[in-house]
Amino acid sequence: MNSSKGEWGSNFGFLMAAVGSAVGLGNLWGFPYKMGMNGGFAFLLFYLILAVLVGYVIMLGELTIGRSTGKGVIAAYSSLSKKYAFLGWMAFLCPILILAFYCSLGGYCLKYTIANLGDFFGASWGVNGVDTAEYFVNFYTNGLEASIFAVIFSIITVIIVMRGVSGGIEKFSKVAMPALFVLLLVVIVRGVTLPGAIGGLKFMFAPNWEVFNGSGWVSVLATAGGQMFFSLSLGMGCIITYGAYLSKKENIEVNALIIPFADTVVAIMAGLAVFPAVFAMGMEPAGGPGLLFITLQAVFDAMGAAGPIFGFLLYLLVFIAALTSSISLMEVVVSVIIDRKEEKGCVANRKNISVIFGLILCVLTILISVDSLGEGGLPKLLGFCWLDFFDLLSEGIMMPVGALLMSLIIGWKLGENWMREELCQEGNQWKMAKFSMFCLKFIAPVGMAMILLGQLDGFFKLGIFS
């Protein structure tokens, strides 16, 4: 354990931070919209199976690598073997790419939180009944406004990370995550008590095997898998980095179970916050990525006087969720730089490192924001808009490759005894060793290879799974 970087004050604090990393736009936006486009129940079923057989064991492996090495990702992988250093580099670059678009999208959430507040006060800066598709386009094609919100979001991220592991990240997560949970409950209660909400519940939970008539289920499986590992923050440095700050007395196995469980509960709750209301207002569940900013805003507009309040609460909670994820992304970068400084015998100053990286982040997120989802006139990158290109490199390639190789390394190279040594510190036991090793050796690599293909298929429209 590298004490100069800090350590979690308590296991609860660690859990709130790790669940905070996992719960983000992926849960509150990606999960409902992908579920909406992929047949509802079948998607949920595949998601749950993959979370148990693939997500859980990769989480276990990453936490173990983190705690056993006590280092940031580059030093962590290099200390296992020099041959694995490139994996550390990938896990270091990946969060930078994700942060660039995550802060831009976090800025969108901030904008919508404020706009709903504006509606509440009847102010000119509200949505004011403008057609929600038009409102959304007007916002994101305004590069200056989108950049301002993205920069505000980035600055808040920097301020929290700058304050350190227990004094910044943990302190914020311990308040933010329970608050997020309560806000989500309030929005769900409103949604499921609207007349007609039952349609949304049926859509999510009534067994529906339609996708199994034909080959469509393979694509649903791959989409659910892609969603699952992004949602759990796997395959890049976050979980390894957070694991490095965990005390040896804590039980990694139990923590590795709680994080995916909590993440999945929140994803399902996000579905409950969205679909009953969408059905009650007679809107389309398969609205795609527009679900969060177009369909849901229309739902709030249609709710009458209470709409702006629930709109405000929903976008506020998405904003908080995005923030606890972005701080985990930034911490990966900061911890690597601290390692580097210390290797050179320098005293690492977390504040300076955070501010300097924050400036780089602002430049990147402004680029994404002024590209306006491809409509801002910046050159296309391999035919993609900037956000999609950054997403392709990170979520599409580096994350699945990272998770695939990590499961192979633990399953076949480091092995059960290496895992046991770290998991069974200070009297802890490893109860599901056989199951976990079997999954790490066989199921996770095959699952991740399929997910990787699914991601490439999705980005390049290769038609492999259709």
Alpha helices (H) in 121-251, listed in sequence order: 132-140, 143-162, 171-192, 198-205, 216-231, 237-244
Q: What are phi and psi of 384, to 5 degrees?
A: -105, 155
Contact 104, 369 (CB under 8 A): yes
Contact 146, 372 (CB under 8 A): yes
Tell me how far, at minimum, the Cβ of 24 lies from ligand PHE, in Å: 3
Q: Which of 6, 13, 24, 276 binds ligand PHE (CB under 6 A)?
A: 24
Q: What are phi and psi of 235, to 5 degrees?
A: 80, 5
By beta-carbon proximity to ligand PHE, the closer residue of 22 and 443 is 22
> Interface with ligand PHE by CB under 6 A: which range of 17-25, 164-172, 379-387, 440-448?
17-25
332 CB burial (10 A radius; 0-12, 13-18, 19+) = buried
Binding residues with ligand PHE: total (CB under 6 A)? 15
Tell me how far, at minimum, the Cβ of 141 lies from ligand PHE, in Å: 24
Q: Is the dihedral of CA 20, 25, 29, 31 positive or negative?
A: negative
Tell me how far, at minimum, the Cβ of 414 lies from ligand PHE, in Å: 23
DSSP summary character for residue 466: -
Spatial distance between the Cα atoms of 345 and 323, rounded to a whole number of angstroms? 33
By beta-carbon proximity to ligand PHE, the closer residue of 143 and 358 is 358
Spatial distance between the Cα atoms of 191 and 188, rounded to a whole number of angstroms? 5
Tell me how far, at minimum, the Cβ of 72 lies from ligand PHE, in Å: 15
Binding pattern to ligand PHE, positions 202-241, x when CB under 6 A? Answer: ----------------------------xx-x--x-x---
By beta-carbon proximity to ligand PHE, the closer residue of 264 and 328 is 328
Contacts of residue 451, Cβ cutoff 8 Å, sequence gap at least 6: 54, 222, 225, 226, 229, 400
List the interface residues with ligand PHE, window 320-349 (CB under 6 A). 325, 328-329
3-state secondary structure of 343: helix
> Interface with ligand PHE by CB under 6 A: which range of 21-29, 158-166, 418-426, 446-454?
21-29
Binding pattern to ligand PHE, positions 252-281, x when CB under 6 A? Answer: ------------------------------
List the interface residues with ligand PHE, window 343-382 (CB under 6 A). none
By beta-carbon proximity to ligand PHE, the closer residue of 236 and 252 is 236
Tell me how far, at minimum, the Cβ of 292 lies from ligand PHE, in Å: 12
DSSP-assigned letters across all residues of 217-271:
HHHHHHHHHHHHHHHTT-SSHHHHHHHHTS-TTS-HHHHHHHHHHHHHHHHHHHH
Tell me how far, at minimum, the Cβ of 143 lies from ligand PHE, in Å: 24
List the interface residues with ligand PHE, window 137-166 (CB under 6 A). none
Tell me how far, at minimum, the Cβ of 307 lies from ligand PHE, in Å: 26
Tell me how far, at minimum, the Cβ of 18 lies from ligand PHE, in Å: 10
**Binding of residue 107 to ligand PHE (CB under 6 A):** no
154 CB burial (10 A radius; 0-12, 13-18, 19+) = buried
Closest listed residue to residue 79, CA positions, set 176, 172, 2: 2
Contacts of residue 338, Cβ cutoff 8 Å, sequence gap at least 6: 2, 4, 5, 72, 348, 350, 353
For residues 57, 62, 64, 69, the Cα torsion angle rounded to the nearest 10 degrees is: 160
Tell me how far, at minimum, the Cβ of 229 lies from ligand PHE, in Å: 9
Q: Which of 5, 21, 41, 335 binds ligand PHE (CB under 6 A)?
A: 21
Tell me how far, at minimum, the Cβ of 101 lies from ligand PHE, in Å: 11
Per CB under 6 A, residues contacting ligand PHE are 21-22, 24-27, 98, 230-231, 233, 236, 238, 325, 328-329
